[in-house]
Chain A
């Protein structure tokens, strides 16, 4: 033990040697500051969110229990809810077209597909719906008005006092919705939220005709609930509430009731937060890894420069252990200092992270210092910086005392035994995997990520090395001396050009890859909305409304591309077994969702362009229901997998009360990315024609004004018909992706920051060399302008090579994604990528010149004396 710990001489010498170069040493450790800051910030943010969720769990749900069914409640459920008692509120939620009209304008208003919640009762029981004005949330039910989402009000230039029409009902807008318990602002990107009194909807015909409706009941437990629970041997704690939830679910034979409790909502939310923060944590981890590499590189150069000192100490009698201890203490000190500074910086960033995620959080965050988060980030920083510097440290034992009398260019690392390198390398990988496993809560995920990260770093390092070698071969004989010297400077002895290009390049790779992915997602959607594709879709069109909708559309200048009949049905049996039986079978293969779904099915004789048969045979026509024939149907392979069924399996459907026996005659593959109505389940013609049905109609409209006009006319005439303006959807998707992208880009910036700090540290390491070069050049007649120019060229090349390396790989990754995943022709947005590159190059130049300031001020004589 005594020999493992450093002795007094080692500790004293470590301090004495370090004290005159503390600033430089601090800069060497700066590489891990950004990474530790990113980790601490994200881990602390996660802790804040989970703390807030815990603290405000009831506000997330707004009640103690929430019951949601997409059909009117059965008598058993109603009876149970009544007996539970407590304070109750109810809601009917559905999507519908809403006409928004300002009172100040003369125009007819604009329609939007909106999320309608018609509420009666005191919901939310915990928390509040925040509106402007504040009183509107308490008064809208009594004064029979509407609350409307703020974004759509801003978008359409509406104010409180303007009107909306739902169905045939006009309502005054009495308030702007700012917050709804349990919902983030990003929710409104799906469609603007409108809250109205329940009586408004009950009086309309909006619910009559094939609408997708959710019937929700909220309950806040009180004394009557407590009494009921006691009578049934339950308590109103978490376990008791879950037991009540189970009883509620059992009232449906097919268990199609969704029940949420505070605990389950907390768990759902926590899972989402976990996923999000783990992903961002990984991005922060990348910055830390790169910072560790930067520190390792700095330590390698530092040790090499200290070779003479080590040799002298060995001559004087220091053991190899003592010399390792001396510089090991310094490196450990570096790691500690970097981790401390990084942690403090991370706490600062934690204050600002909520701004980035404001739209995704359904509450105001409680922020506090999380000691576990701080410790984990801090210790990770220390561990990684020390682990990656271990090999250069161990190489000290190879420095021979002979260096004192024999001048030679000795590279300690080159003399480390291969087995030592392998052992240390393996140890580092294991350590990194364990640390990441702690962060991700999964060893397998950590192992895969580490493997992918190491592969990326190696590929980036190889790309950087290749580019550097290419740069080195450039003769540029026709260029001025300043350019040639600037390029040559990148290859001065003990340069860290490859590491610099790698760390800066990784930041560019992350940002570039993410940006290209985002572009491709949008491009994919855009591609589907080309000139021959539909840009307006009407659905929920009843049979008797079909003709009218078509007439309005065609008169408005639209071309009807497709009209599709849709029949609603539910699965009642699979191979003779009921849904209830299947749900209770713990060995079942089928998912609950697939078993309890309300299927929207169409029928036709031919397959369309989006469908290909994988197995079996498509039979386009069959006998009518009641003829005793088992109807041959076709299913998409994903649904077949979900249900655990194969060819010739029998499925019984309940079509509005009529049982229909079917046989799975074929399995298809459907391209759901096509902007046309596509269906998981397809019936042949001749069977469902008499069944209650509605229609979807896809249209191509020449311009946005016609789209708005046709929408408004249809909604005015037929309020139950809904419309999807594909252009608006694309806009919403873009906004959503932008918000997600901003969060990821913010974390990726930590990698860029790491690269810049490593650059500053590398410049500091080579400071004396630069001073010497500058002095020599001035001695032989170079002007300050020329010397500055040489530095400019050097940093320009560094930044350019880094951007090139990172973007090259990002483009390769983008091409692979486009070819194999998105099925697109890859056309990157060059101006945007160039702009990002210019920013990184600019930052590289700024950091370079900031650190070069003092070099030009050095007096030649000082340098020459130090030389001698």
Chain B
């Protein structure tokens, strides 16, 4: 589903180059879930951005279902995102001037599908995440947890092949966060989407099939979730 090869990202900071991601390579199989964890500044958000086609690497390649993302322009990337990718953000990123229902429908409406065809599915999804009574409410009228549920519904409406979630529970309390996690994994299982979650929460990471740990821009370990330490793969000479 997703293959990343020799990915490097370097920024200029104070006149000096700063390597945020250093020669990272991995692949993710379809239908699996993968957590990318690491401390703050480890490069996990950068990696997510590159893998999802939101940013361009300094060098390296990204393949999503055989689409070479590194060779596409911005508009082509947008098309890929619309067709194959779903997103969930830490700060929800709902469009404040659209209702919950309208926010959910955006990815499908972008394809030119008429309102009447998509609104039914959108309502069903909102019902599935427990917001059937809030379809006409604006984000400012919803709590953080409710907003994230709308975001989840939006992420799944177009049945993406892969879903990227960036700290999906980062702005929520633990109880709400758990609810969101349940909804996320529930829907993911139903739809068979490949899931990539960036998180610093080990409990959330443990729910995934696989955990990639980043340290100083490199993969420190890449293991199945819950695997014991002897089975952890040491990557790039760095043991976790």
Interface residues of A (CB under 8 A from B): 7-9, 12-13, 16-21, 308-309, 311-322, 400-402, 404-406, 865-866, 868
B110 near A9: Cβ-Cβ < 8 Å: yes
B114-161 contacts to A, CB under 8 A, are 114-115, 138, 140, 144, 154
Is the pair B75, A405 in contact by a Cβ cutoff of 8 Å?
no
8 pairs of residues in contact across A and B, judged by CB atoms under 8 Å: A9-B109, A13-B106, A314-B78, A316-B81, A318-B82, A405-B49, A405-B90, A406-B49
CB distance from B136 to the nearest CB of A (A): 12
List the B side residues contacting A7 at CB < 8 Å. 112
Instruction: Report B-chain residues with C-beta under 8 Å of the C-beta of A400.
Output: 54-55
From A7, A9, A315, residue with most partner B Cβ within 10 Å? A315
Chain B, Cβ-Cβ closest to A10: B110
**Interface: B45 (CB within 8 A):** yes
* Residues from chain A with Cβ under 8 Å of B102 in the complex: 16
Q: Which of B34-42, B91-99, B189-197, B231-239 contacts A (4 or more CB under 8 A)?
A: B91-99
- Chain B residues near A12 (CB, 8 Å)? 109, 115
Q: How far is the CB of B92 from chain A (nearest CB, A)?
A: 10
Q: Does B107 contact A (CB under 8 A)?
A: yes
- Cβ-based interface call for B222 (8 A): no
A148 to B115, CA, bound (A): 79
Contact between B107 and A317, CB atoms less than 8 A apart: yes
Q: Within the assembled complex, what's the spacing in Å between the Cα atoms of A321 and B95? A: 18
Taking a contact as CB atoms under 8 Å apart, the answer to whether B45 and A405 are in contact is yes
A866-B109 Cα distance, complex, nearest whole Å: 28
| Complex alpha-carbon distance, A311 and B74, angstroms | 12
Given contacts A309-B97, A400-B54, A405-B45, 6 further A-B contacts (CB under 8 A): A9-B110, A13-B106, A19-B97, A314-B74, A316-B87, A406-B49
Of A9, A20, A311, A406, the residue contacting B97 (CB under 8 A) is A20
In the bound complex, how far is the Cα of B139 from the Cα of A308, in angstroms?
A: 14
Assembly CA distance A400 to B55 (angstroms): 8
Partner of B93, one of A402, A404, A868: A404
Complex interface: chain B residues within 8 A of A317 (CB): 78-79, 81-83, 107, 110-111
Chain B residue contacts of A311, Cβ below 8 A = 93
How far is it, in angstroms, between the C-alpha of A314 and the C-alpha of B192 when the chains are bound? 25
- Complex Cα–Cα for A866 and B106 (A): 23
**A746: min CB distance to chain B, Å:** 41
Q: Chain B 61-99, CB within 8 Å of chain A: the 1/0 string?
A: 000000000000011001101110001011001111110
Within 8 Å by CB of A319, from B78, B83, B107, lies B78
Known: A309-B95, A402-B49, A404-B89. A320 touches B74 (CB 8 A): yes
Output the least CB separation between A859 and chain B (Å): 14
Residue of B whose beta carbon sits closest to that of A318: B110
Residues of A within 8 A of B109 (CB): 9, 12-13
A402 x B55 contact (CB < 8 A): yes
Contacts of B49 in A (CB 8 A): 402, 405-406
| Chain B residues whose CB sits within 8 angstroms of the CB of A309 once the complex forms | 95-97
**Contact A308/B140 with A317-B81, A317-B82, A402-B49 known, Cβ cut-off 8 Å:** no
By a CB distance below 8 angstroms, the chain B residues around A21 are: 97
Check A320 against B75 for contact (C-beta < 8 Å). yes
Q: A404 to chain B: which residues have CB within 8 Å?
A: 54, 87, 89, 93
Q: Please, which residue of chain B has its CB at the minimum distance from the CB of A317? A: B82
Q: Are B93 and A315 in contact (CB under 8 A)?
A: yes
Are B54 and A316 within 8 A (Cβ)? no
Query: Interface on chain A toward B: helix, strand, loop, or mixed SS?
Result: helix
A319 touches B75 (CB 8 A): yes
In the bound complex, do residue A308 and residue B54 qualify as a contact, i.e. CB atoms below 8 Å apart? no
A405 to B75, CA, bound (A): 19
Given the complex, which residues of B lie within 8 Å of A312, measured CB to CB? 93-95
Q: How far is the CB of B7 from chain A (nearest CB, A)?
A: 15
Return the 7 tightest CB-CB contacts between A and B, nearest first: A317-B82, A17-B97, A312-B93, A319-B75, A401-B54, A317-B110, A317-B81
Residues of B within 8 A of A401 (CB): 54, 78, 81
> Is there an interface contact between B54 and A16, defined as CB atoms closer than 8 Å?
no
A residues near B154, Cβ cutoff 8 Å: 316
Chain B residues contacting A8 (CB-CB under 8 Å) are: 112, 114
The answer for the CA separation of A405 and B140 in the assembled complex, in Å, is 20
Cα(A163)–Cα(B93), bound, Å: 89
Point out the residues of chain B lying under 8 angstroms from A9, CB to CB.
109-110, 112
Give the Cβ gap from B115 to chain A, nearest Cβ, in Å. 8
Chain B residues lying within 8 Å of A320, measured Cβ to Cβ, are 74-75, 78
Q: Which residue of B lies closest to A310 (CB)?
A: B95
- Are A406 and B75 neighbours in the complex by a CB distance under 8 Å? no
- Assembled-state Cα–Cα distance A315/B151 (Å): 13
Q: A9-B112, A404-B89, A866-B140 are in contact. Are A313 and B54 (CB under 8 A)?
A: no
- Report if A315-B87 is in contact (Cβ < 8 Å); known contacts: A9-B110, A321-B75, A400-B54: yes
B89–A405 touching, CB < 8 Å: yes
Contact A405/B166 with A308-B93, A312-B95 known, Cβ cut-off 8 Å: yes
- Please give, as numbers and ranges, the residues of chain A lying within 8 Å of B97 by CB-CB distance: 16-21, 309
What residues on B are CB-neighbors of A308 within 8 Å? 93
A7's closest neighbor in chain B, by CB?
A: B112
B187, CB-defined interface residue at 8 Å: no
Task: Specify which chain B residues have a CB less than 8 angstroms from the CB of A316 in the assembled complex.
Answer: 81-82, 87, 106-107, 110, 154
Question: B65 to chain A: closest CB distance in Å?
Answer: 15
| CB neighbours of B110 from chain A (8 A) | 9, 316-318, 322
| Residue B48 interfacial (CB < 8 Å) | yes
B21-48 residues at the A interface, CB under 8 angstroms: 45, 48
- How far, in angstroms, from A16 to B101 measured CA to CA in the complex? 12
Chain A residues with CB below 8 A from B75, complex form: 319-321
List of A residues within 8 angstroms of B78 by Cβ: 314, 317-320, 401
Q: Nearest Cβ distance between residue A865 and chain B, in whole angstroms?
A: 8
B140 & A16 in contact (Cβ 8 Å cutoff): no
In the bound complex, CA of A83 to CA of B45 (Å)? 102
Bound-complex Cα distance A502 to B219 (A): 55
Which residue of chain A has its CB nearest to the CB of B102?
A16
Point out the residues of chain B lying under 8 angstroms from A405, CB to CB: 45, 48-49, 54, 89-90, 166
Chain B's closest residue to A407 (CB) is B91
Residues of A within 8 A of B90 (CB): 405
List the A side residues contacting B107 at CB < 8 Å: 316-317
What residues of chain B lie closer than 8 Å to A313, measured between beta carbons? 95, 106
Complex CA gap A317/B102 in Å reads 15
A133 to chain B, nearest CB (A): 70
Residues of A within 8 A of B140 (CB): 865-866
Q: Give the chain B neighbours of A319 by CB distance below 8 A.
A: 75, 78-79
Query: Is B54's CB under 8 angstroms from A315's CB?
Result: yes
Residue numbers in B under 8 Å from A13 (CB-CB): 98, 106, 109
Query: Given the known A-B contacts A315-B87, A404-B54, are A20 and B138 also in contact in the complex, defined by CB atoms under 8 Å?
Result: yes
Contacts of B82 in A (CB 8 A): 316-318
Residue of A nearest to B171 (CB): A868
Question: How far is A405 from B82 in the complex, measured between Cα atoms in Å?
Answer: 17
Chain B residues, Cβ within 8 Å of A17: 95, 97-98
Asked if A315 and B81 make an inter-chain contact with CB atoms under 8 angstroms apart, the answer reads: yes
Closest to B95 in A: A309
Q: Mark B193-210, 1 if CB is under 8 A from A, else 0.
A: 000000000000000000
Please measure, in the bound complex, the distance between the C-alpha atom of A319 and the C-alpha atom of B81, giving whole angstroms: 10
Given contacts A7-B112, A19-B97, contact A868 B144 (CB under 8 A): yes
**CA A320 to CA B79, docked complex, whole Å:** 11
Closest to B81 in A: A317
What's the Cα separation between A401 and B49 when bound, in Å? Answer: 9
Measured between alpha carbons, how far is A9 from B94 in the docked complex, in Å? Answer: 17
Determine the distance from Cα of A212 to Cα of B74 in the docked complex, in whole angstroms: 83
Chain A CB count within 10 A is highest, among B45, B81, B93, B112, for: B93
Query: Which A residue sits closest to B53, measured CB to CB?
Result: A401
Q: How far is the CB of A748 from chain B (nearest CB, A)?
A: 39
Complex Cα distance, B54 from A311, in Å, reads 10
- In the bound assembly, the distance between CA atoms of A309 and B93 in angstroms comes to 7
Question: Complex Cα distance A402/B47, Å?
Answer: 12
Q: Report the bound CA distance from A866 to B138 in whole Å.
A: 12
Bound together, the chains give a CA A18 to CA B144 distance in angstroms of 24
* A13 CA to B112 CA, complexed, in Å: 12
